[in-house]
Chain A
Amino acid sequence: MLSKKMRALGVLLSIAISAGTFAGCSAGKGNSSDAKSNTGETTATSETTESSDQTPATNTDEKVKLTVWYAVSGDSGEKFKAMVEEYDANTENVEIELSYSGKYADTATKVSAALASGTAPDVALMAAGPLYTGGRGDFFIEEKVNSDSDFNKDDVFPGVWEYAKYNGKICAVPYGISTQVLYYNKKILEKAGIDVNNPPKTWDELYEMAKLAQEKGNINNSSDFWGFEVSDVPWLFKSMLNQNENPIIEVDGETVTPVFNDEKSVEVANWWKKMVDEKIMPIGQHDNAENKFLAGNVAFIVASSNRIQRWAGETTVELGAFPMPYFKKQSLALGGNVLVVFGDEGTKKERAWELVKYLSSAEKQTGFALETGYLPIRKSGVEMDIAKKMIEENPMFKIAFEQLDYSWSYWHFDQMGTMDSIISDTVEAIEKNISTPADALNDAVEYLKNEIEG
């Protein structure tokens, strides 16, 4: 009954079952049979090579079902949904099952789980997409953007393409992207006597301005008043590193080496430290930065470009924006989501590509971006009438669009999430005087090197 023998047998049985189901999920790196839709049976064909050499046969009449997941909610979600549904209604040979898969983190979990169980969606709008395609050796999208002239690859800003690469190859289409923007509170600058027609060019100039605003611009007479804040620390820090000619990582073949501990990086860190030491920027409260700014207690804030849309007409703060200052050269890191395509080559994947092409056309992507607070990925997008109209209504958009010219990204790599965490911790250590900038950066690079080696 419940004798020792039976229980042992039960345990052995479950280990066998577990090992079996577990092993059946995926094996090794760069094997795109990972993304194969699995019918639940192990077939002998799991060993055969994929048909990437032949042109996949596509039957233009066959109706194909596509599953599409998206990781944006609110207005962005509604707009994306509307676009996909419109495509579905107007396209005979596909039937689309659209599904909101949670915010970025939840979507990542769902996609991971789906890939592990062989039930991945055909198309997904998610963050860090290249890790899930390029990281698994799937560079279908690069093939497509290179061969399909309808897509017009060169129309997309070069810096923006960098955001969709793994190992130097394109494996996603950037879609809902943003850079950071330097916003300011008009009233505060007015009170401090700062001329808004003379934007700061370098970070040193901004330092002077923020200091002045700090001393003279306290419009609320608040005890919690500051000259400068930033709501996403790693994002800005990375931009700054690249501005000061540090590329953050160096890639050699498939090996990634972090390099953000040279003197140029230390310069950036020293500037940062100066800001908190002279009490222009508060320590360790960056999660709360935007609230403070909206309360009128911060003169300058670096926040995502999507705040232009989000804050418009909502807050009592009179907003302005300056082009982002720089160290040695202008450069801004990109953030946001991308479109990826999963699955094996074949009719489904071809149809999925058609959908992606439609969504990332100049008209559709620009419309989506502008209505929801993202940026156009295409140079032609910035020239379109709706773009010009937005600039008329809100001049801050002009700055956001112009910044696209010097937008940049390092390629996606497996430990990039870890890198952001470690940068966050490093900056915190510097702000709170726990390590010197040089030590903190060295520690960070060491840590990341170990992580990369695994």
Chain B
Amino acid sequence: MSSRCSLTSKRFKRAETKAALVLLTPTIIAMLFLFIIPVTQVVIMSFTNWNLATGVKEYVGLKNFQYLFKDKNFSKAIINTFTYSAVKLAADVVLSLFIAVLLDKPLPFRRGFRIIYFAPVVVPVVASSLIWIWFYDPGIGPFNQVLTAIGLKPLKWLYHESTALISIIIFSIWKGLGYNTVLFLSGLQGIPESCIEAAHIDGANDMQTFFRIKLPLLSPVINFVVMMGIINSFKVFTEINVMTPDGGPLKSTLLLVVYIYEQAFTNGRMGRGAAAALVLFVIVFVLTIIQRKVSKKTVNYDYD
């Protein structure tokens, strides 16, 4: 970055800043109205006891936060969310990368495969949740039918605390695989053929090419997928609410945004929901800082 043009006069710097400002203005204005103002209101809300139904709204200081730290359900929600996030992220990255590499190869029917792997992303959540609820049905759903057919014990899937969360995770992975696969595919396209050719000429086989050349060059995309994975997994809500209403068996699928929704809308306590959202914000903020520090060491933006 420092080996810039030799003309580093003030004139250039100002022109650059001016251009930046002009191009950034629409985004900043949008952010002001769509993010900064609403979030500021959320912060204010978190210090009140605003009840959505009855309209009561009074300042209560730190009461909401005190409640959160005492509430067992809140700590459960945090733990559940971390579990969900860790498992999903690991599975997501490994699986999508694997599939993307396979889909990168010039195989027959590749176009068809790509559409198939992307299809779950496209199916409306309304439809796919209902379908998977039926698939997970302990009595007559296809999954248990397959399990019993191969001689294993049928599971209770969404209806037992030991299997509910993993059932949700499997559904989420199925649903999101297409997204990450597409991202990795785009990333793979960005790798100049010259690098790969060079590696082949030097005698590297496919595996070595992958791990030594492609993977490092993919690191910006991997970094992005991991970062977005963390952020999105902390925000997951809709599918959980549909498949396991009320936080699931023994609250095993009570995740943070589900908790927020329950407090804010089911219980009508918007103030508490806002406070929980702020805690969520802080948690994700800290995680992304950690992730950024880790990525600085592993992400490679140079092309030689």
Is any CB of A less than 8 Å from a CB of B in the complex? yes
Q: Which residues of A contact B (CB under 8 A)?
A: 1-2, 10-11, 14-15, 17-19, 21-22, 25-29, 31, 34, 105, 108-109, 112, 115-116, 128, 131-132, 135-136, 222, 224, 284-285, 287-288, 291-292, 295, 297, 414-415, 417-418, 421, 424-425, 428, 432, 434, 451, 454
Check if B53 sits within 8 Å of A131, measured CB to CB. yes
Please give, as numbers and ranges, the residues of chain A lying within 8 Å of B52 by CB-CB distance: 108-109, 112, 116
Q: Select one of B41, B53, B138 contacting A288, CB under 8 A.
A: B138
For B265, the closest partner residue in chain A by CB is: A109
Interface residues of B in 133-189 (CB under 8 A from A): 137-140, 156, 158-160
In the assembled complex, the Cα of A287 lies from the Cα of B245 at a distance in Å of 9
Residues from chain B with Cβ under 8 Å of A11 in the complex: 36
CB proximity of B161 to chain A, nearest CB, Å: 8
Whether A418 contacts B267 in the complex (CB less than 8 A), given A284-B249, A295-B139, comes out as yes
Q: Is the CB of B17 within 8 A of A105?
A: no
User: Could you say which residues of chain B place their CB within 8 Å of the CB of A432?
Assistant: 250
Contacts A/B (CB < 8 Å), 9 sampled: A10-B32, A19-B44, A29-B55, A34-B55, A131-B268, A135-B54, A222-B139, A284-B249, A428-B250
Q: What 5 A-B pairs are tightest by C-beta distance, nearest first?
A: A135-B54, A112-B52, A131-B53, A18-B40, A18-B41
Question: B44 near A285 (CB under 8 angstroms)?
Answer: no
With contact pairs A285-B159, A295-B139 given, residues A132 and B53 touching in the complex (Cβ less than 8 Å): yes
Interface residues of B in 16-74 (CB under 8 A from A): 17, 21, 32, 36-38, 40-41, 44-45, 49, 51-58
Q: Which residues of A sit under 8 angstroms from B75, Cβ to Cβ?
A: none
Which residues of chain B are near A109, meaning CB under 8 Å? 52, 265
Query: Which residues of chain B are within 8 angstroms of A425 by Cβ–Cβ distance?
Result: 251
Q: Which A residue's beta carbon lies closest to that of B270?
A: A112
Contact of A428 among B158, B245, B249 (CB under 8 A): B249
In the bound complex, CA of A236 to CA of B148 (Å): 34
Within 8 A of A (CB), among B195-234: none
Instruction: Give chain A nearest CB distance to B63 CB in angstroms.
Output: 8
Whether A1 contacts B21 by the Cβ 8 Å rule is yes
B137 is contacted by which of A116, A291, A434 (Cβ under 8 Å)? A291
Per the bound structure, the CA–CA distance linking A434 and B17 in Å amounts to 63
The answer to whether A29 and B56 have CB atoms under 8 Å apart is yes
Chain B contact residues, majority secondary structure: helix
B138 engages A417 (CB within 8 Å): no
Residues of chain A within 8 A (CB-CB) of B44 are 18-19, 22
Number of interface residues of B (CB under 8 A): 37
Q: How far is the CA of A132 from the CA of B268 in the complex (A)?
A: 11
Q: How far is the CA of A224 from the CA of B154 in the complex (A)?
A: 11
A224 nearest CB neighbor, chain B only: B139
In the complex, the answer to whether A285 meets B32 with C-beta atoms within 8 Å is no
Contact of A421 among B40, B55, B266 (CB under 8 A): B266
A417 to B140, CA, bound (A): 32
- The distance from the CB of A88 to the nearest CB of chain B, in whole angstroms, is 29
Pair B54/A415 contact, Cβ less than 8 Å: no
Decide if A454 touches B57 in the complex (CB within 8 Å): no
Complex contacts, B267 vs chain A, CB 8 Å? 415, 417-418, 421, 451
Q: Is the CB of A291 within 8 A of B139?
A: yes
- CB atoms of B138 and A285 under 8 A apart: yes
Residue of A nearest to B164 (CB): A284
Which residues of chain A have C-beta atoms less than 8 A from B246's C-beta?
421, 424
Task: Indicate if B262 sits at the interface (CB-CB under 8 A).
Answer: yes
| Smallest CB gap from A21: residue in B | B41
Within B49-106, which residues are at the interface with A (CB < 8 Å)?
49, 51-58
B32 CB, min distance to chain A CBs, angstroms: 6
**Contact for B265 among A19, A31, A108, A287, CB less than 8 A:** A108
On whether the beta carbons of B56 and A2 are closer than 8 Å, the reply is no
Question: Is the Cβ of A417 less than 8 Å from the Cβ of B268?
Answer: yes
User: Could you tell me if A136 and B55 are in contact, using CB atoms closer than 8 angstroms?
Assistant: yes
Complex contacts, A297 vs chain B, CB 8 Å: 139
* C-alpha gap A34/B267 in the complex (Å): 20
Minimal Cβ-Cβ distance residue in A for B17: A1
Q: Which of A19, A105, A288, A415 has the most CB of B within 10 A?
A: A288
Could you say which residues of chain A place their CB within 8 Å of the CB of B265?
Answer: 105, 108-109, 112
> What residues of A have a CB within 8 angstroms of the CB of B249 in the complex?
284, 428
Q: What is the CA–CA distance of A123 and B32 in the complex, to the nearest angstrom?
A: 35
User: A28 contacts B17, CB within 8 Å?
Assistant: no
Docked complex Cα distance between A212 and B38 (Å): 60
Residues of B within 8 Å of A414, CB to CB, are 51, 53-54, 268
Q: Is there contact, CB below 8 Å, between A2 and B55?
A: no
Closest CB in chain A relative to B195 CB, distance in Å? 38
Which residues does chain A contribute within 8 Å of B58, judged by CB atoms? 28
**Chain B residue contacts of A19, Cβ below 8 A:** 40, 44
Q: Given the complex, which residues of B lie within 8 Å of A428, measured CB to CB?
A: 249-250
Q: Find chain B residues with CB under 8 A from A26 CB.
A: 55, 57
Residues of A within 8 A of B40 (CB): 14-15, 18-19
* From A284, A287, A415, A421, contact of B262 by CB (8 A): A421
The answer to whether A287 and B17 have CB atoms under 8 Å apart is no
Given A26-B55, A116-B55, output 13 extra A-B contacts at Cβ < 8 Å. Answer: A1-B17, A19-B44, A21-B41, A31-B55, A105-B265, A109-B265, A116-B52, A131-B268, A224-B138, A291-B140, A295-B140, A421-B246, A428-B250
**Shortest Cβ distance from B50 into chain A, in angstroms?**
9
Q: How far is the CA of A304 from the CA of B49 in the complex (A)?
A: 35
**Chain B contacts for A418, CB-based, 8 A:** 266-267
Given A15-B40, A29-B54, A132-B53, the answer on whether A417 and B156 have CB atoms closer than 8 Å is no
Give the Cβ gap from B27 to chain A, nearest Cβ, in Å: 12
> Are B245's CB and A292's CB within 8 A?
no
Whether B53 and A128, one on each chain, are in contact in the complex, defined by CB atoms closer than 8 angstroms, is yes
| Identity of the chain B residue whose Cβ is nearest the Cβ of A106 in the assembled complex | B265
Give the residue name and chain of the B residue nearest to A16 (CB): B40
Contacts of A415 in B (CB 8 A): 267
Cβ of B41 and Cβ of A287 under 8 Å apart? no
Closest residue to B267 on the A side, CB-wise? A418
Give A445 to B291 CA distance when docked, in angstroms.
Answer: 43
For A21, the chain B residues whose CB sits under 8 A away are 37, 41
Please determine whether A2 and B21 come into contact, CB atoms closer than 8 angstroms. yes
A131 to B, closest residue via Cβ: B53
The answer to whether A14 touches B37, judged by C-beta atoms less than 8 angstroms apart, is: yes
Cα distance, A17 to B37, chains bound together (Å):
7
Q: Write the nearest CB–CB distance from B244 to chain A, whole angstroms.
A: 8
Complex contacts, A28 vs chain B, CB 8 Å: 56-58
Contact A288 B21 (CB under 8 A): no
